[in-house]
Amino acid sequence: MTAMAHEPLTQAEVLLEGFLALDTPEGFRAELIEGDIVVTPPPDGDHEDYIGLIVSQVVRRSRTDMQFSGNKGLKLRSGGHCPKNHVIPDGTFAPAERRLYRGADPWMPCTGVAMVLEVTSTKPEADRETKRRCYARGGIPLYLLVDRETAMVTLFSEPEKDDYLRSLKRSFGDALPLPEPFAFDLDTADFI
């Protein structure tokens, strides 16, 4: 009996395999973004405070009952010959009736996600540019970016191909309208 010859793995397959085998230290996040493995340290308290302020408002004020996850990663389409992007947003919101966060797999498809949230930290350009493109490619309807360096909050909407067609910016302290399924004005007064 002769052994069957195996096709050699492509560079993208080797990268994905290596990424999925990573064992990152507790609190660190490893992501595969546009062909690069990105490891980020645990966030600081201010970073977590912004997330908490937003989650609290969504839970209390959203027209649609929302579930939140700060741990589930998303499998998103990539551009070119890169493996599928594996991105862990600071926050993911989905209608509770969808129950998207079930299952043991730490990576889920993005279908049904209503909004992702990022708060800038050690690599703000990744949140402003790279992750924005990933979320748009994944068809995620809304991307909320809290940019601590510029003291601005931006809502990106209408994903098409590699980007969002619309963006709405507000300075910290000004209300930012969130459309359906949220349908309320996000209060950013406590962001200052």
Architecture of domain 43-191: Alpha-Beta Complex (3.90)
Residue 165 is given by DSSP the state E
pLDDT band at 39 (very low <50, low <70, confident <90, very high): confident
In the chain, which ranges are continuous DSSP H helix? 11-20, 45-61, 124-125, 131-137
Rounded to an integer, the average pLDDT of 139-152 is: 97
What pLDDT is recorded for position 94?
96
C-alpha span between 40 and 118 (Å, rounded): 13
Phi and psi dihedrals of 119, rounded to 5? Answer: -115, 125
What pLDDT is recorded for position 79?
59
The pLDDT of residue 51 is above 50: yes
Helix (H) or strand (E) holding 143: strand 142-147
C-alpha span between 166 and 156 (Å, rounded): 6
Rounded to an integer, the average pLDDT of 121-135 is: 91
The pLDDT of residue 163 is above 60: yes
pTM value is 0.84
The residue with tokens 């230290």 is 25
